[in-house]
């Protein structure tokens, strides 16, 4: 459990660092830097979301008392995917890009705080024998998703 928990927390730290770099670029004049830092954010954030949705969360819905929490996280994920897509399509020079990024930042920060609080409990739900398999599949899904992103000529987000 420790390896998976440490990896999840490390990913959350990297996401927070990228969000801070974007927050430091409030001016539309920094649009080229915004473009670069936003791409870096998506590179760490989107594979993480995909792996949680496809690998981790399905193992956690078996407990009815935790099902509502997973549904809550999935709703937050949907908002993050939508915000990421909209900001990807919007010009980084647009004045409203920074406002949209701030909204996305708030959603992500809230989501990360909630998950980090719940991860230790959630990971106890997964059978100890299966935890290493889940961790390996989680890592494989992130790699698969990154490759998929690299192979796309145009990305929907």
User: Which three-class secondary structure string do you get for 52-89?
Assistant: HHHHHHHHCCCCHHHHHHHHHHHHHHHHHHHHHHHHHH
Tens-digit pLDDT profile for residues 10-65: 999 999 999 999 988 877 778 889 999 999 999 999 999 999 999 999 988 877 77
Q: What is the pLDDT of residue 127?
A: 84
Number of H helices, E strands in the chain: 5, 0
Domain ranges of the chain: 2-151
Neighbours of 2 (CB within 10 A): 8
Which residue is listed with tokens 């979301």?
A: 49
Tens-digit pLDDT profile for residues 122-156: 888 888 888 899 999 999 999 999 999 888 755 55
Residue among 85, 47, 46, 54 at smallest CA distance from 70 = 54
Distance CA 38, CA 92 (A): 9
Tens-digit pLDDT profile for residues 86-109: 999 998 888 888 889 999 999 999
Residue among 6, 5, 35 at smallest CA distance from 21 = 35
Angle between helices 64-89 and 95-125 (to 10 degrees): 160
> What's the pLDDT band for 83 if we cut at 50, 70, 90?
very high
Q: What is the pLDDT of residue 153?
A: 54
Query: Do the Cβ atoms of 143 and 49 come closer than 8 Å?
Result: no
Q: Which two tokens stand for residue 155?
A: 């990305």
Length of the chain: 157
């Amino acid at each position: 459990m420790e390896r998976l928990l440490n990896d999840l927390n490390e990913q959350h730290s990297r996401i927070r660092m990228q969000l801070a770099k974007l927050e430091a670029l409030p001016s539309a004049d920094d649009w080229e830097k915004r473009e670069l830092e936003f791409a870096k954010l998506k590179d760490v954030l989107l594979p993480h979301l995909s792996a949680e949705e496809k690998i981790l969360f399905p193992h956690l819905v078996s407990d009815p008392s935790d099902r509502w929490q997973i549904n809550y996280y999935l709703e937050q994920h949907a908002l993050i995917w939508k915000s990421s897509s909209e900001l990807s399509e919007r010009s980084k020079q647009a004045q409203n890009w920074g406002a949209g990024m701030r909204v996305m930042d708030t959603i992500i920060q809230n989501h990360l705080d909630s998950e980090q609080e719940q991860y230790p409990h959630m990971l106890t739900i997964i059978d100890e024998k299966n935890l290493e398999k889940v961790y390996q599949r989680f890592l494989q899904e992130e790699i698969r998703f990154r490759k998929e992103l690299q192979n796309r000529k145009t990305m929907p987000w």
